[in-house]
C-alpha cells in the first residue's frame, strides 16, 4: 500500500527557491503528506516563507552547513517515509511522478538512492562529479548522520534500491560555491577545506576551459 511522505527541507537565506521547492513537491507527498522546514537562522524572509507554506518550521542556530540538523529534522516526521532536499535542489517531473509509488513498505525497501544532476552556472559538471547518487527517500530512522560535514550517513536498511527514473537537479552558481567554501572555514575542518578548495578550482577550470583538471 502506498503511504504518505514527509518532505524535510533545509534552508539558509534562500526564500524564493524554498517556495518553489515546497510548491513543487507538496502535491506528490500523498493525502497525509506534510512539509517540515529546518531553517538555519535565515534573515532574508526564508523563515517567514516556511511558516506560511510548511506544516512545521524549525529554527536552528547556524552552523555553516546543515548536516548536524538533518537527524533532528528527520525525527520530527509524522509519516513513516521521508523525502529530503536542500533548497538548491529540485526534483524533476519524472522523479516526482514515481515518488508516491516508491513509498510502499510492502516492497521491503527502506532506502532509495536517487540520481542527482549537478549544475554550476547552468553547466552540467558531470565530468567532475560523475554519477552522483544520494539517499533521499527513506523510512524514518533508516539514516543517521554524524555531526561532521558532508559525511555519508549510516544506513539501517538491508534492502536498498537505486532509482534510475528522473533526478534531483542540484543547481548552484560559482558565487554560491565560493560562499560554501567560507562556511567550510567556519566549520574548522582542514581536510574538508582542502577538498573544497580542490573542487572549487576544478569547477572554475571546467567552466573556463571545458576540460577537467588532472588529478580530479
pLDDT score of 207 more than 90: yes
Are 114 and 168 in a shared domain?
A: yes
Residues 125-178: tens digit of each pLDDT: 999 999 999 999 999 999 988 776 666 789 987 899 999 999 999 999 999 888
Residue 100 lies in a domain: yes
Residue 216 lies in a domain: no
pLDDT score of 81 more than 90: yes
Residues 95-123: tens digit of each pLDDT: 999 999 999 988 899 999 999 999 999 99
Are 132 and 52 in a shared domain?
A: yes
DSSP 88: T
Are 80 and 158 in a shared domain?
A: yes
Burial class (CB in 10 A: 0-12, 13-18, 19+), 42: buried
Are 61 and 155 in a shared domain?
A: yes
Q: What are phi and psi of 111, to 5 degrees?
A: -140, 130
pLDDT for 152 equals 79
Q: What percent of the chain has pLDDT over 90?
A: 72
Total domain count, the chain: 2
pLDDT score of 186 more than 60: no
pLDDT score of 43 more than 80: yes
Residue 186 lies in a domain: yes
Cβ atoms 114, 167 nearer than 8 A: yes
CA distance 188 to 166: 36
Are 40 and 127 in a shared domain?
A: yes
Residue 105 lies in a domain: yes
pLDDT for 1 equals 65
Which of 94, 167, 163, 178 is CA-nearest to residue 124?
Answer: 167
Residue 57 lies in a domain: yes
Residue 56 lies in a domain: yes
Are 68 and 145 in a shared domain?
A: yes
pLDDT for 65 equals 65
Are 153 and 140 in a shared domain?
A: yes
Are 168 and 196 in a shared domain?
A: no
pLDDT for 5 equals 98
Number of H helices, E strands in the chain: 7, 11
Residue 199 lies in a domain: yes
Are 114 and 180 in a shared domain?
A: no
Are 28 and 98 in a shared domain?
A: yes
Are 40 and 132 in a shared domain?
A: yes
* Domain span holding position 53: 5-172
pLDDT for 55 equals 98
For position 149, which CATH number holds?
Answer: 3.90.550.10
Average pLDDT, the chain: 91
Are 59 and 165 in a shared domain?
A: yes
The grid coordinates listed for 35 are: 512539509
pLDDT score of 185 more than 80: no
The residue-averaged pLDDT of 190-211 equals 87
pLDDT for 183 equals 62
Structure confidence at residue 50 as a pLDDT band (50, 70, 90): very high
Residue 215 lies in a domain: no
Amino acid at each position: 500500500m502506498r503511504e504518505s511522505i514527509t518532505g524535510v527541507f533545509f534552508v539558509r537565506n534562500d526564500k524564493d527557491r524554498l517556495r518553489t521547492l515546497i510548491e513543487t513537491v507538496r502535491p506528490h507527498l500523498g493525502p497525509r503528506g506534510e512539509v517540515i522546514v529546518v531553517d538555519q537562522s535565515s534573515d532574508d524572509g526564508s523563515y517567514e516563507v516556511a511558516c506560511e507554506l510548511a506544516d512545521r518550521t524549525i529554527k536552528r542556530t547556524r552552523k555553516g552547513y546543515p548536516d548536524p540538523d538533518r537527524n533532528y529534522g528527520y525525527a520530527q516526521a509524522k509519516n513513516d517515509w521521508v523525502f529530503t532536499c536542500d533548497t538548491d535542489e529540485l526534483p524533476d517531473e519524472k522523479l516526482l511522478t514515481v515518488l508516491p509509488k516508491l513509498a510502499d513498505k510492502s516492497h521491503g525497501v527502506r532506502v532509495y538512492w536517487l540520481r542527482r544532476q549537478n549544475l554550476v552556472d547552468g553547466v552540467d559538471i558531470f565530468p567532475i562529479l560523475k554519477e552522483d547518487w544520494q539517499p533521499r527517500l527513506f523510512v524514518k530512522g533508516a539514516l543517521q548522520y554524524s555531526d561532521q560535514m558532508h559525511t555519508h550517513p549510516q544506513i539501517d536498511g538491508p534492502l536498498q534500491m537505486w532509482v534510475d527514473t528522473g533526478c534531483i537537479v542540484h543547481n548552484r552558481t560559482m558565487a554560491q560555491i565560493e560562499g560554501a567554501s567560507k562556511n567550510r572555514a567556519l566549520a574548522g575542518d582542514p581536510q574538508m577545506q582542502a577538498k573544497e578548495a580542490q573542487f572549487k578550482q576544478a569547477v572554475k577550470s571546467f567552466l573556463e576551459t571545458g576540460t577537467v583538471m588532472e588529478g580530479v
